[in-house]
Structure 1
Amino acid sequence: MAGAAPDDGVPRWLRTSAGITWRLLVLLAGIALVFFATSQVQLLFVAVFIGFVLTAVLRPVVEFYSRVMPRPLATALGLLSGFLVLAGMVFYVGYSVANQWQALSRQFGDGIDQIVDFLEHGPLPFSISNEQIAEWIDNGRTWLQEHAGDLAGQVAASAGSVVEVFTALALAIFCAVFFLARGQEMWTWFVNQLPTSVRDPWKTAGGAGWYTFSGYTRGIVIIAVTDGFLAFVLLSIIGVPLAAPLAVLVLIGAFIPLIGAPAAMVIAMIVALAANGPLQAAVVGLGIALIGQFEGHVLQPLVMGKQVSLHPVVVALAVTGGTLTAGILGAVIAVPLVSVVWAIWSKFRQPDPPMEPEEAVDDVGPVDEDDGEATTG
């Protein structure tokens, strides 16, 4: 038989496929083990990840301060600077909401009346009356009353989650303090624990991984701030109420690839529709969509450069897989983790010379009936 091994009679393609299959099974088992171990210490993993994020964002600030002061003092001042920026942003958002809440409530009520009138007397092929809306509201109130006990139980259960969140943040800040103050010494100590023969690969992998992770983290922060600023300018020019909180929502959405920006756009359009009408809502949607295009085609190549070079299909698959695995948290951390893995893989692999697109497609001709082999044209 053509292509068969002379010793056991098993076709070569079957032995090759079997070898690839068991290697893939071992690889999948290892990945599954990593995910299982991570899920058992999810709080610890999240805390360390946030600590790395804080380190990547604040390290340039700490390096700047350390030029004129001791490293511990520069670390404390860098963390304080980051906290003040975050607290100032939260205070400004809260002040904007409190200052415009009364006007927004009135405009929102007028907008709801306009929407109801459109649904009842508009050109749609169906109509929804006030009586139907009132019936739906009554049904919703009845459902809440019937399930009040279950909802209270869920709220009580979520109290533990709030404690876990604050615990993770405290641990993340604690780790970030040491990463910023003595990160180089900690990495050197770790490398020194390894055998001399494997130190160079670990140094290469660590350097490539941190370069990509820090580049992605700082880049996404710059992009998010820019998106939020542009959204604030757009919403202020159009006259949409609560422009500052909506701009912060756009800023937060930038941290979730593919999902965050559309979600923020829909919320901003709803507020604009309720307050200013359908025309302004359409302008808001178009403007934020243009901001997204500006981000994807100008900001990301300019800010991140070659530090993060993932195909959009890979980003979509990573975000989807992260969301299915760990919800919103998985969607946020999926892309940087995949970027780090790809950077390390690219650093070690030695690819063969690339083919041209026309060379990658094999034009298979008719099969020769005598020997069963395909002839190529």
Structure 2
Amino acid sequence: MPDPAPSTNAMPSGPVPHDSAPPPWLRTAAGWSWRLIVLVAGIALVFWAVTQVLIVFVAVFLALVITAVLNPLTDLYHRVMPRALATAAAILSGVLVIGGLLTYVVVSVAGQWERLAGEFNTGIDQIVDLIENSSLPVDVDLDTRDQWIDDAADWIQENSQTLVSRAAESAGSIVEGVAVLVLAIFCTVFFLASGTGMWRWFMTQVPARTRQKWHAVAGAGWYTFSGYTRGIVLVAITNGILAGIFLSILGVPLAAPLAVLVFIGTFIPLIGAPLAMIIAAVVALAADGLLTALAVTLGIAGIGQLEGHVLQPLIMGKQVSLHPVVVALGVTCGTVVGGILGAIIAVPLIAVAWSVYSTLRKQPDGTVPDEAVPDEAVPGDGPSDADADADDGSFDADPSPGRNSS
């Protein structure tokens, strides 16, 4: 009689093998972990490289800022004159405006600097007196403040040699500043005059299959950067004019220099305008009393609210749309990493990075649709026939903002 067929449900006689592979959640976490490590390392490498050529980075960044501001004016002049002359006329116009503003600031502050310092010191004395005579558990009187000043003077005297050596070292910073300005103007001339030709040459150096993506990323980044730059300049001018009018109506002395401080402070997000407001309030307190100081504080705070809720959305629109928490964190990180320069450039860099990321994620397969490419991609002149054809004819979009901007 034949043996029965072995049962398929019979248990194996040897030990049961175990799956040595890690669970799926661990593999996913590990995959994301090493990617994040590589990303952070890449960002750190970029920051390190920037610090090694900081002068060049600042010069190029300043050139892009000037280009974004002057490019519409250059396009306007280009309607009636050649591009080279339009570039020269736009730069000359910018120099005249900036030079006039600096001259006005120097003359107004130089003529009233002693008065401004005196009013500020008087305001500080009044604030200390108010704190001393109030019911707050704070014991700060004028003698204590004078003692602080004497201690600071003693420290300066004891460390005078160190301070002198550092001042001598700062002379090199002046030379570097001049070099940065000259290099920025040099780059600005070529960005305004032949930005399109430079961009088209760069596009011929990348593979044809990725040119549309590069064009879309550059267009989104430049669209955001130029929108932020022109917008912040218009907002700063508006803030300065409104502050000057408001201080003049209240009869606060030194209204013009204080309005200039508000204008300059607008370029430093979150902290610049409040510092200018504090200085204006202290001067108003010394000149016209507590009620005027409170009125100045509330008025400039109202100007800040007008800027945040009306001017920036109206002028910048959707070009720069960042949550206030992101702005605060970016400015803080920028200040820690790069001081005042980091605080100024943090917001535009974050806005450009987010715009680039948003453009790249529009298609899962990495391709970018045509509608994702804004009209502005790079600064420069209009299209040229010589540059219109790429090496294989696969890229013929005109990235110049000169076509549609004014």
Q: What TM-score, normalized to structure 1?
A: 0.86
1:75-116 residue CA offsets vs partner (Å, 9 max, x unmatched): 111011111111111112222224444655665565566456
The residue type equivalent to 2:212 in the other structure is D
The residue type equivalent to 1:39 in the other structure is T
**Distance in structure 2 (CA, Å) of the matches to 1:138 and 1:29:** 48
Aligned partners of 1:215 and 1:307 also within 8 Å: yes
Aligned partners of 1:104 and 1:275 also within 8 Å: no
Higher relative contact order (CA 8 A, sep 6+): 2
Structure 1 residue corresponding to 2:148, chosen from 133, 136, 140: 136
Map 1:51-130 to 2 at 5 A. Answer: 51-101=63-113, 104=116, 107=119, 111=123, 114-115=126-127, 118=130, 128=140, 130=142
The residue type equivalent to 2:355 in the other structure is A
Structure 2 residue corresponding to 1:13, chosen from 12, 16, 25: 25
The residue type equivalent to 1:201 in the other structure is K
Distance 1:108 1:345, change over 3 A: closer
Tell me the equivalent position of 2:216. 204
More divergent stretch after superposition (310-319 vs 220-229): 310-319
Distance 1:109 1:70, change over 3 A: same
Give % identity: 60
1:337-370 residue CA offsets vs partner (Å, 9 max, x unmatched): 1111111111121389xxxxxxxxxxxxxxxxxx
Distance 1:301 1:114, change over 3 A: closer
Q: Give, in angstroms, the shift of residue 125 of structure 1.
A: 5.0
**Distance in structure 2 (CA, Å) of the matches to 1:317 and 1:351:** 29
Q: Give, in angstroms, the shift of residue 145 of structure 1.
A: 1.3
Is 2:328 aligned against 1:316?
Answer: yes
Distance 1:19 1:239, change over 3 A: same
Aligned partners of 2:228 and 2:320 also within 8 Å: yes
1:305-353 residue CA offsets vs partner (Å, 9 max, x unmatched): 111111111111211111111111111111111111111111121389x
**Distance in structure 1 (CA, Å) of the matches to 2:138 and 2:29:** 59
Tell me the equivalent position of 2:158. 146
The residue type equivalent to 2:231 in the other structure is G
**Distance in structure 2 (CA, Å) of the matches to 1:320 and 1:109:** 30
Tell me the equivalent position of 2:206. 194
Is 2:64 aligned against 1:39?
Answer: no
Is 2:289 aligned against 1:277?
Answer: yes
Distance 1:118 1:345, change over 3 A: closer
Is 2:196 aligned against 1:184?
Answer: yes
**Distance in structure 1 (CA, Å) of the matches to 2:215 and 2:363:** 21
Aligned partners of 1:111 and 1:276 also within 8 Å: no
Tell me the equivalent position of 1:372. none
**Distance in structure 1 (CA, Å) of the matches to 2:138 and 2:318:** 52
**Distance in structure 2 (CA, Å) of the matches to 1:256 and 1:140:** 28
Structure 1 residue corresponding to 2:306, chosen from 288, 294, 299: 294
Q: Which runs of 5+ in 2 are unaligned?
A: 1-17, 365-406
Matched positions, count: 347
More divergent stretch after superposition (274-283 vs 150-159): 274-283
**Distance in structure 2 (CA, Å) of the matches to 1:55 and 1:153:** 38
More divergent stretch after superposition (339-348 vs 180-189): 339-348
Instruction: Specify the SS of the correspondent of 1:310.
Output: coil
Q: Give, in angstroms, the shift of residue 163 of structure 1.
A: 1.4
More divergent stretch after superposition (179-188 vs 258-267): 258-267
Distance 1:101 1:249, change over 3 A: closer
1:273-320 residue CA offsets vs partner (Å, 9 max, x unmatched): 222222222111111110010011101111011111111111112111
Is 2:36 aligned against 1:24?
Answer: yes
Structure 1 residue corresponding to 2:339, chosen from 321, 327, 351: 327
Instruction: Specify the SS of the correspondent of 1:344.
Output: helix
Structure 2 residue corresponding to 1:166, chosen from 175, 178, 187: 178
Aligned partners of 2:77 and 2:90 also within 8 Å: yes
Q: Give, in angstroms, the shift of residue 120 of structure 1.
A: 5.8
**Distance in structure 1 (CA, Å) of the matches to 2:238 and 2:61:** 24
**Distance in structure 1 (CA, Å) of the matches to 2:41 and 2:122:** 58
More divergent stretch after superposition (22-31 vs 44-53): 22-31
The residue type equivalent to 2:344 in the other structure is V
Q: CA-atom RMSD, angstroms?
A: 2.1
Distance 1:217 1:134, change over 3 A: closer
Instruction: Specify the SS of the correspondent of 1:34.
Output: helix
The residue type equivalent to 1:347 in the other structure is T
Distance 1:16 1:78, change over 3 A: same
Structure 2 residue corresponding to 1:236, chosen from 228, 240, 248: 248
More divergent stretch after superposition (76-85 vs 262-271): 262-271
Q: Give, in angstroms, the shift of residue 270 of structure 1.
A: 1.9
More divergent stretch after superposition (236-245 vs 54-63): 236-245
Aligned partners of 2:66 and 2:188 also within 8 Å: yes
**Distance in structure 2 (CA, Å) of the matches to 1:175 and 1:334:** 22
Q: Give, in angstroms, the shift of residue 171 of structure 1.
A: 0.6
**Distance in structure 1 (CA, Å) of the matches to 2:329 and 2:143:** 45
The residue type equivalent to 1:200 in the other structure is Q
Q: Give, in angstroms, the shift of residue 28 of structure 1.
A: 1.1
Tell me the equivalent position of 1:371. none
The residue type equivalent to 2:332 in the other structure is T
**Distance in structure 1 (CA, Å) of the matches to 2:328 and 2:122:** 39
Q: Which runs of 5+ in 1 are unaligned?
A: 1-5, 353-377
**Distance in structure 1 (CA, Å) of the matches to 2:129 and 2:328:** 40
